[in-house]
Amino acid sequence: MNVLYQRSPRLRPALREEKLEILRPPAEPSKPSFSIISILIPLMMTLVTIGFYVYMSKTGKMGNSNYLMFQMVTVVMMLTSYTIPFFVYLNNKKEYKRKLEERDRMYREQLQKHREELELKREEQIRTLYEIHGDPQICAQIVKNRNSSLWERSPEDEDFLQVRIGTGQVPFHIKLQIPRPDGYDRDPLLGAADELGEEFRLVDAASIALPLFQSKVVGLVGEREHTLAALRVILAQVTVRHSPDEVKIASFYDEREESEWNWMRWLPHVWDDDRTGRMMSDRSSSAHQLADFLFARLNRRKNNRNERHGKGMEVPC
């Protein structure tokens, strides 16, 4: 069947998979340690001084006034030699704590910048998916207003025969490469980076597309009323977004449900190529006839596909 319709050029928003590497936090500063040598050296000096005192007392030279001054200077130096290493250690410890806090602050600020950028990208993905797989209720407006997006999808499009089935979680199109810990030591900053990766692994409230062509067979399970509503939504999207020259629909249903599906006879997609009959069956006799017609056509396609080594898509689907 040839339909006189000029397809408008399609401006499809792009949503390509990207990668973002989250860098490792800077190496931790060296933790200060209190060196035992800083104690041993003053201790040795003290022992030498005590020995010198004992020697001077035995030789009777302790009364010299110059030596008394020397004693006072020596005591001051000894006290200084004990206290300086301790104050140096306290200062190093304070500097170590400051560097740790600065490292933590700077890395978390960088993660926050990534979080703000990724949040914008996530909102952009939701909008893009909605533009590609919009609300099915829009289909009625497209037909009513004869919008240029009618039958806009072609077999060359990635979203050919993809229909929106609802909203939910979909993978984020930006794959985060999170740094992994080395060994068994757990760095809190690496934990913060891992939380960021988990936060942006999925996107909530996004349009979920059902790939009909790739799936080949799709079953709907649930309460009858909800199942029929979902099937109508799928049919509406298929017939509004795809040309009847590229997609055909064949239906089998019980004659007692004719009132449920009789509206499909108005769809151009149910006509055969010669427009001699609709591919709709509600009786066993016509069902066998339609099934034989479809089997012969699909079997012929299978043979042609084997000859072409499975290359390309044959239309109408």
> How far is Cα 42 from Cα 81, in angstroms, rounded to an integer?
6
Query: Residue 3 has which token pair?
Result: 């339909």
251: three-class secondary structure by DSSP: strand
Triad 122, 119, 109: Cα angle to 5°: 150
R_g (Cα) of the chain, nearest Å: 40
Alpha helix ranges (H) inside the chain:
37-59, 65-132, 138-144, 188-199, 212-215, 224-241, 258-261, 284-307
Q: What is the per-residue pLDDT for 23?
A: 92
Distance CA 126, CA 206 (A): 5
pLDDT of residue 208: 92
End-to-end CA distance of the chain: 13
Among candidate residues 93, 161, 189, 103, the one with its CA nearest the CA of residue 313: 161
Whether the ω angle into residue 9 lies within 30 degrees of 0, i.e. cis, is: no
Other C-beta atoms lying within 10 Å of the C-beta of residue 117: 12
* Tokens linked to 52: 């010198």
Q: For residue 39, what pLDDT is reported?
A: 61
Tell me, what's the pLDDT at 28?
Answer: 83
pLDDT for position 255: 86
Question: Is residue 206 a contact partner of residue 169, using CB atoms and an 8 Å limit?
Answer: yes
Dihedral angle sign, alpha carbons of residues 92, 95, 101, 102 = negative
Q: What is the pLDDT along the chain (317 residues), one digit of tens a residue?
A: 555 667 777 777 778 889 999 999 988 888 876 666 656 666 666 666 666 666 666 665 555 555 555 666 666 666 666 676 777 777 778 888 888 889 999 999 999 999 999 999 999 999 999 988 888 888 888 888 888 888 888 888 888 999 999 899 999 999 999 998 877 778 889 999 999 999 999 999 999 999 999 888 899 999 999 999 999 999 999 999 999 999 999 999 988 888 889 999 999 999 988 888 899 998 877 888 999 998 988 888 888 777 666 566 777 88
pLDDT the model gives residue 33: 67
163: exposed, middle or buried (Cβ count in 10 Å: 0-12, 13-18, 19+): buried
Two tokens, residue 225: 């009323």
pLDDT at 181: 83
Structure tokens at 260: 């449920």
Q: What is the C-alpha to C-alpha distance for residues 114 and 196, in angstroms, rounded to an integer?
A: 9
| Residue 27 token pair | 């190496």
**Per-residue pLDDT at 76:** 64
Would you state the pLDDT for residue 317?
Answer: 83
Quote the crossing angle between the two packed helices 65-132 and 188-199, to the nearest 10°. Answer: 10
Closest-CA residue to 250 (of 218, 220, 275, 272):
272
Q: What is the amino acid identity at position 316?
A: P
